[in-house]
Structure formats: structure tokens, C-alpha cells
Chain A
């Protein structure tokens, strides 16, 4: 079965530090990839998504992610974090060409704490 692994469960950074959150998935076929963010007390919001084309995807709030098919990875990056980036980050995958097309598989999430 498809699975998504986020390597870092809890990350603590100082403001202006660079961020990279790891995400690996297990499915070998065509995938759609997503990063969602959940700010404290708020709902899940889509940061960015990859369906096809340029493997370097730019999202909102200065985030970007790179799809590396050979490594089954979709890591999230931001050059300089801000205190307001404190949140939980979820990587998610779905399989657009299968009967599971409407099903998102989420990683366990990474809690990012940015110290001012």
C-alpha cells in the first residue's frame, strides 16, 4: 500500500534560518504530490502541489519543493523562515491514474517551531 514518510517530526529553527523538510513516498507509478500547512488553530491550507512538468514547484509564502522521481522524494524548502511559519506541515500523495485517485495519503506531519 502507498505510504508517505516525513523524516523530521519536530524541527526547531531560529528566524532567518533555512528550512528543508523531507518527504518520501512509496508508490512507483504516477503521483500527484502536495504540501499542506496547518497553523495553530487553523485549517489545513495548500502550500504547493506538483502534478507534472517542472519538478521545482513554487508555492505560497516563499515555499518551494523539488520532486525527485528517482528518490521518490518531494522535499519542502524555504530559504529564510519567519516566526509566522510556526505550524505543522504535511506531505500528501495521491495516485491520479488509479481507482484511488480521490484518496490523499498523508505523512505523519512535521511540527516546525521558529524562535524569534
Chain B
């Protein structure tokens, strides 16, 4: 079956702009989590959605937001982009919350200039 699909794969934005990233989980998976990966900070949890509700949020500013749709697809939005937001953004899906392990997508590489 198809894996976790993230679009777009690459994105270049200018400081101050906003960006929306998309994630389609594995069919039947209802939990979607987002992570930011940078060389300096490693993999950091952004948020988790389950049944269209945000269940958990990491230590990121309010400029980072997300949502989940009824078909479990998820989007994350970053407003007022800063240079430090340049990172690989990873989406992971799981059949349900927590206990089944997570399958990751290939990520969206965001570069802020």
C-alpha cells in the first residue's frame, strides 16, 4: 500500500511569507504527527492530530499551526517565516495514537531566504 505522502518535496520561501505543507497518511491511519529536522536541533516534535483534533503540541511558537481533515490528511502552516525555520519537515502516520509505531514520509525541505 502507498506510504506517507508529503507535498511539496522542496520549497523556497522568503522571510515573512507563510507556507502550507501537506501530508497524506497511509490509508486507514488516523494519527498524523509532524516533526522538524535540523542539523543543530535534530528531530523535534511539532504536533499530533487524531480524529481531526490536535492531541499534543511541541515547544514551537504559535506561528506553527496545523489541522487534520476528515479523511485524515493533514496540513501544517508556518506564518511569518524566519531564516531559522529552514528545515526538513517530516510527517508520520500511525493507525491510532501512540502505540503502533510511526511510518514517516520523505519530508518537505523548506528553505527560507
Interface size, A (range)? 20 to 34
Q: Which one of A43, A101, A105 lies within 8 Å of B105 (CB-CB)?
A: A43
Q: Are A102 and B98 in contact (CB under 8 A)?
A: yes
A102–B48 touching, CB < 8 Å = yes
Contact B102 A43, beta carbon cutoff 8 Å: no
Q: Does A113 contact B (CB under 8 A)?
A: no
Scan residues 84-111 of chain A and give those whose CB is less than 8 A from a CB of chain B. 90, 92, 94, 96, 99-109
Once the chains bind, are B106 and A43 in contact (CB under 8 Å)?
Answer: yes
Minimum CB distance partner of A102 in chain B: B48
> Is the CB of A46 closer than 8 A to any CB of chain B?
yes
Assuming the contacts A43-B106, A100-B56, asked whether A106 and B101 have C-beta atoms less than 8 A apart, the reply is no
Whole-angstrom CA separation of A36 from B106 in the bound complex: 14
B106 surroundings in chain A (CB, below 8 A): 42-43
Q: Are B105 and A103 in contact (CB under 8 A)?
A: no
Contact of B103 among A46, A102, A106, A109 (CB under 8 A): A46
B42 engages A109 (CB within 8 Å): yes
Query: Is A104 touching B56 in the complex (CB atoms < 8 A)?
Result: no
Complex-state Cα separation, A36 to B35, whole angstroms: 14
Please name the residue on chain B nearest to A45 by beta carbon: B104
Q: Which residue of chain A is the closest to B99 with respect to CB atoms?
A: A96
Are B43 and A103 in contact (CB-based, < 8 A)?
A: no
A92 to B44, CA, bound (A): 11
CB distance from A27 to the nearest CB of B (A): 14
Within 8 A of A (CB), among B49-98: 50, 55-56, 58, 90, 92, 94, 97-98
Contact A102 B104 (CB under 8 A): no
A56 contacts chain B at the CB level, 8 A cutoff: no
5 pairs, CB–CB < 8 Å, chain A vs chain B: A44-B104, A46-B102, A92-B43, A107-B42, A108-B42
Instruction: List 10 tightest A-B contacts by C-beta distance, closest first.
Output: A101-B98, A102-B48, A106-B43, A44-B104, A43-B106, A108-B42, A102-B97, A103-B56, A103-B45, A102-B56
